[in-house]
Structure 1
């Protein structure tokens, strides 16, 4: 036995070539990692920016925090500790000032433009960019030109009848629940999804999802959040070059299948809408106005055309961006109104004084309500639909951001939640006080209101901003004109949510009562 053991030891002798190669490889790896740590901490051009040391030496802390859900809170804590500029990864710098938002996302000459960071803008499931994921400027400009017409204020007026009809349907369905004795336990977060997805489905695909009619979430909408989670995982994996080729293969099969099903359903519905032609004025008719192509390829900026695959990607995007974000804002607005009774009472009084009947509530008339507009701005501030930043790349030669020189190829972003909840930007940042937007309360005279950029700014700002505001004003007016609303005890901690690009919203359980008397 001893002899056999001796023979084995000789086989794996430390002097054997295999062991020597392995040992050398391990030594090189350890030396490289040590060098990387020392470089990132002390010699990197970004070492001058403050931030937690662990985050400065590796992407893993930020990525793990992102995937687990509390990144928005961690970034807020960092900015509160370190100031308006924080290094959050070896090559990433975060800002929370209004000046930074303007300089990162604003208008610049082409050679000085901060381009989108591809790692944060994942190509859709079919591999074809839409207006948001398009890193290439020409592709984005062509898509925006095709879509800008349908999102104009003039065209929005033409869609008002359709939108009002669907909102009225929601009011009728909610009233029926009250009459049936179910008003004490209504999940308004779901109903906000019902209305916004039905509106966007009708505008994009030529028919609503039927959520209002059926009083339940369409299976396609139910799979939305799983699809977004899959995109979040892909976004993290693609930041590692050696994982890019197999990023999607590393996603759990069940999650990947939900993403595929989600995308393919939207593509199928888009094809059905294309078959019905361009006569009906909606999102798709604007795209089809100059025809569409079955041919894939790189179109020039001035070409007024999309490929069928681009239309599929666009349908996927607009339904999500035009629905989930609006439903999120509405849910947050209702929650904070219910938790801040003086604000609720003032808003309800404004609405019920301005309108003598439900039929009087229109886009134009709702827009005139000053306190309503202040409530919406405050809701966007305290509960922004997109809580984290939209990454950009510093161009060649470097650039100045909010007074700080940042070297080229650095990833930078303005952080929405961290900016809107910062005491350096807003007085009483965690309190829901719409009066800060009216200019009548001296407590808020020094608020840096330009820091609020929930729709972003510059050439890539949200193209659907006017539609979102019109929907939000109309829905809030009709809800509080017709009902008295209070949250139930189980909604006490509703705002404590995780974030995976979008908020992971739980049910918002409320008690609905028909208003006692109409003024």
Structure 2
């Protein structure tokens, strides 16, 4: 073997041959008990084979840790000391379930740039939001999104709009999807949302008659899931009707989020876990199956839309739901709405379109319950608008925006004090590097901003831990501009959440209808709720006593 290697004339082959010959020489000398000029090497070569391997592993790991710690241009960025050596620090931080609170503490201690991993930097300056996430930004999403949070279709991870990393594919896909989420389309969805609100209020009234505490937080999830069913498939999933987690889809999504949040800190492990093609797709497959069940349940409608083998545009608009609109694009041969994309985008609606809004609703209700003066002020505004004939029943989205300014401030403050996402929105620094907060950051570094950090900045939001809706009404124009710049609940730029208008219509219509019919008080007003960060910061403990108002 050595002679064969020696026969090669390339410098690399010659070097390898010499290295092997020298190593063999040391091994033979060590076996004979003859020392050389390198005692450490002599001791190593005299070890049994398993100990040699173990020693090499220890040396390799130590070298890698030191390489991580002293990485050029990141070595002087402050942060937890252990975090610079290994991504395990991030994993442990996320696994503890309170990473959002820890992020606030870290930036208070270390400043606007915090190194939270060997190649990860957290940013707190809201002025960098447009720089990193703006429409013209070249920063791209990381493996935290795709493949970890993508759906599994035919054994392969397929991205949807939220997880797409390719800027061109995202841009073209967004063009054809945006119409379904536009303000005009949202207004057309109002009757579908009203149906869900009517059923929710009916169920709450029945429960209120039992005079027992009600977990209103759970019902917020049932409401938002059924709204997504209406908007996506013109059919509720059945959460409100049954008053339970249909097909355990809420539980399944919680499992997916937990996996994504933790594996996302060590994405290289994904290919050995749920990313392994030889393993079942697990919980993510259940989400796809749930979406396919809804698609199949609505499929018979589409045969009636065909006229001479072509889908009629007017009929499509009259149906209004997303499945119908996107199915039309699929049938017309759009390369951006093939079957895999159709399933991916509808699955994404189920996966991401419900929890985020229910989190915001729970926040509003919880903090109103904790601050009875704010609750009274909002109820008085709603009652006054109703008495003046300014709002109908149910309240329209336009009426809520026009005649209920304090409601809008309450909603904004609820999302400010408890953002839905609790980890930074990760992005890769473009090739060649870039300057962030006056510091050059090398290309390929993972950077990001956590909405909890910007929305708890005391310089922008005085007394940030207090629920103060008035700040959105009484601030100066300059201060309001800074607050809006720091409000990062829906991300920003080309990646701004397309579903934000849907979320606002769900919240703006439901809250006033709930409060004009019922009196809500927290069953345990002195007890703090439980929060757990699994990428989304989910809450438990919005337990209420509910009585019907006269």
Please state which band the TM-score falls in when normalised by the shorter chain. Answer: 0.7 to 0.9
Q: Secondary structure at the match of 2:448?
A: strand
| Alpha-carbon distance in structure 2 between the residues aligned to 1:190 and 1:358 | 27
Q: Show structure 1 runs of 5+ residues with no match.
A: 1-10, 295-302
In structure 2, the CA distance between the partners of 1:158 and 1:91, relative to structure 1 (3 Å rule), is same
> For residues 454-473 of structure 1, what are the structure 2 equivalents within 5 Å?
454-473=489-508
Output one character per residue of 1:294-345: Cα deviation in whole Å (capped at 9) or x when no partner.
Answer: 9xxxxxxxx5641222222211211232211111100111000110112111
1:399 alignment counterpart: 434
In structure 2, the CA distance between the partners of 1:443 and 1:349, relative to structure 1 (3 Å rule), is farther
2:19 alignment counterpart: none
> For residues 411-450 of structure 1, what are the structure 2 equivalents within 5 Å?
411-440=446-475, 448-450=483-485
2:398 alignment counterpart: 364
Q: Find out whether 1:474 has 2:509 as its counterpart.
A: yes
Q: Find out whether 1:513 has 2:547 as its counterpart.
A: yes
Q: CA deviation at 1:504?
A: 3.4
2:15 alignment counterpart: none
Q: Find out whether 1:502 has 2:530 as its counterpart.
A: no
| Alpha-carbon distance in structure 1 between the residues aligned to 2:411 and 2:141 | 28
Q: Secondary structure at the match of 1:47?
A: coil
2:227 alignment counterpart: 199
| Alpha-carbon distance in structure 1 between the residues aligned to 2:342 and 2:106 | 40
Q: CA deviation at 1:266?
A: 1.6
In structure 2, the CA distance between the partners of 1:236 and 1:92, relative to structure 1 (3 Å rule), is closer
Aligned length: 487
Contact kept? 2:455, 2:486, Cα under 8 Å: yes
Output one character per residue of 1:215-255: Cα deviation in whole Å (capped at 9) or x when no partner.
Answer: 22212233321232233354345x22xx443221789x9x9
In structure 2, the CA distance between the partners of 1:234 and 1:274, relative to structure 1 (3 Å rule), is farther
> For residues 92-107 of structure 1, what are the structure 2 equivalents within 5 Å?
92-107=120-135
Q: Find out whether 1:308 has 2:343 as its counterpart.
A: no
Q: Secondary structure at the match of 2:152?
A: coil
Q: CA deviation at 1:422?
A: 2.7
| Alpha-carbon distance in structure 1 between the residues aligned to 2:376 and 2:164 | 44
1:225 alignment counterpart: 254
Give the structure-1-normalised TM-score. 0.86
1:56 alignment counterpart: 84
- Identify which of 308, 317, 321 aligns with 1:282: 321
| Alpha-carbon distance in structure 1 between the residues aligned to 2:143 and 2:71 | 26
Contact kept? 1:200, 1:322, Cα under 8 Å: yes
Larger Rg: 2
2:379 alignment counterpart: 348
Q: Secondary structure at the match of 2:539?
A: coil
Q: CA deviation at 1:151?
A: 1.0
| Alpha-carbon distance in structure 2 between the residues aligned to 1:172 and 1:149 | 32
Q: CA deviation at 1:284?
A: 1.2
Q: CA deviation at 1:448?
A: 4.1
Q: Secondary structure at the match of 1:359?
A: coil
Contact kept? 1:230, 1:259, Cα under 8 Å: no
1:267 alignment counterpart: 292
Q: Find out whether 1:33 has 2:37 as its counterpart.
A: no
Contact kept? 2:222, 2:244, Cα under 8 Å: yes
Output one character per residue of 1:413-454: Cα deviation in whole Å (capped at 9) or x when no partner.
Answer: 011112212324321010000111113489977964411111
| Alpha-carbon distance in structure 2 between the residues aligned to 1:156 and 1:120 | 27
Higher relative contact order (CA 8 A, sep 6+): 1
Q: Secondary structure at the match of 2:116?
A: strand
Q: CA deviation at 1:152?
A: 1.2
| Alpha-carbon distance in structure 2 between the residues aligned to 1:405 and 1:510 | 51
Q: CA deviation at 1:410?
A: 0.5
Contact kept? 1:427, 1:444, Cα under 8 Å: no
| Alpha-carbon distance in structure 1 between the residues aligned to 2:399 and 2:547 | 25
2:274 alignment counterpart: 248
State the superposition RMSD in angstroms.
2.9
| Alpha-carbon distance in structure 2 between the residues aligned to 1:412 and 1:471 | 32
- Identify which of 422, 432, 446 aligns with 1:387: 422
1:125 alignment counterpart: 152
Q: Find out whether 1:409 has 2:434 as its counterpart.
A: no
Q: Secondary structure at the match of 2:180?
A: coil
| Alpha-carbon distance in structure 2 between the residues aligned to 1:73 and 1:380 | 16
2:358 alignment counterpart: 327
In structure 2, the CA distance between the partners of 1:439 and 1:447, relative to structure 1 (3 Å rule), is farther
Contact kept? 2:139, 2:429, Cα under 8 Å: yes
In structure 2, the CA distance between the partners of 1:440 and 1:349, relative to structure 1 (3 Å rule), is farther
Q: Secondary structure at the match of 1:396?
A: coil
In structure 2, the CA distance between the partners of 1:120 and 1:66, relative to structure 1 (3 Å rule), is farther
In structure 2, the CA distance between the partners of 1:258 and 1:41, relative to structure 1 (3 Å rule), is closer
Q: Secondary structure at the match of 1:125?
A: strand
| Alpha-carbon distance in structure 2 between the residues aligned to 1:423 and 1:31 | 46
Q: CA deviation at 1:21?
A: 4.9
Q: Find out whether 1:185 has 2:209 as its counterpart.
A: no
Q: Secondary structure at the match of 1:510?
A: strand
